[in-house]
Structure 1
């Protein structure tokens, strides 16, 4: 059989995290730190790999490592695991004692050496679910984020505000000052936050960056089984 389709064979190499393609992650398990992956994100694997449920050690509920903040599974053993979610674009980040705040819906996988805590956004109580799904990640290790399409990175400099639609923001440097405010203009577009006539935007100031995706509708999520 001949077809360009057959050119999409599995990559080889020893890199722990690598992109098989822009929408699929390849993870090599070799006895190193456990890999925590979004539950249900495994699409294929080779070798002797086990997938088990995972609960944060010493969970503390609200304000701590809440099991409802990230629905993860532990991947252990020796082999190669392929992860994906609804063909979202994937991005590998190497945290080196930095702090990054993200919405939990955009996390695909991370090393078990990366820790997080739930953080509150000023004004976030007006938006159902926002306060319980904003996570500050810290420590050292790899983190893989998802976006709907290729994202935009906006640099934030002291004395200069950067504004972004709350429905498009994926994450930002934790050192930034963040405020949530209602947009002044109306829109006919359906929004997952607020009402059909009033959206929300986030204002950032300080020094750091903001990650914005080209989508204002839905976060990456699993399709419910009927």
Structure 2
């Protein structure tokens, strides 16, 4: 249905409590956080809230993470905020689909641009891939999330999860790579044949190689990250 009376519009698009707990998918592209304390969220992802909630930019955060982000990375995708208070917080990121993950004393590594929110009980560490500086136009950093709690990640369109097994490596485009299991340590490799094309950007000439036993999540979209001067 594409035509509504005002009453029908409100009824068709209204917020609905589904009783799913701390993180709830209000729509496939909108995350509702039922906040009674604090949560980490991607800076700029708040679209609405109800209640009393305060926000702190990453420069004020503990564990030196804010300083680490500032020194190593650029762009909005590299910035976190902490939301504290009580109420309902609604998060979204450029209309991307949202996946809610329940970590159970395990770990996942997420492309920094695809991390939407996480429970403050989750231990997290920002990492830059070796040899990456100057090779890619963006997506230079990853966040390792470990412990027990909820993590919300995003992907353009429908994500695909590929199994990585011993002797059968999986190769991905960094700009299409969303996340991977915490036990994997991808290496960057250069495809010489792609580099020979005149005018070809970094694109597929730089690839991520996953070996071992785990999984990698990719999206059917090559996300290009704009960089700014720090």
TM-score tier (shorter):
0.7 to 0.9
Aligned twin of 1:26: 32
Equivalent residue for 1:11, pick from 16, 20, 23: 16
Q: Distance in 1 between matches of 2:126 and 2:111?
A: 10
**Cα distance, 1:188 vs. partner?**
8.6
Q: 4+ runs of 1 displaced by more than 4 Å?
A: 128-132, 187-191
SS of 1:43 mapped into structure 2: strand
Which 5+ residue runs of structure 1 have no aligned equivalent? Answer: none
Equivalent pair of 2:113/2:139 in contact (CA under 8 Å): no
Q: Distance in 1 between matches of 2:81 and 2:200?
A: 33
**Cα distance, 1:119 vs. partner?**
2.9
Give the superposed CA RMSD. Answer: 2.8
The answer to whether 1:167 aligns with 2:170 is: no
TM-score relative to the length of structure 1: 0.81
Equivalent pair of 1:17/1:25 in contact (CA under 8 Å): yes
Equivalent pair of 1:118/1:132 in contact (CA under 8 Å): no
SS of 1:97 mapped into structure 2: strand
Equivalent pair of 1:99/1:137 in contact (CA under 8 Å): yes
TM-score relative to the length of structure 2: 0.80
For 1:115-130, what aligned pairs fall within 5 Å after superposition? 115-128=123-136
Aligned residues: 212
Q: Per-residue displacement from partner, 1:183-206 (whole Å, max 9, x unpaired)?
A: 344379975xx26xx621211111
Equivalent residue for 2:161, pick from 138, 153, 158: 153
**Cα distance, 1:213 vs. partner?**
0.6
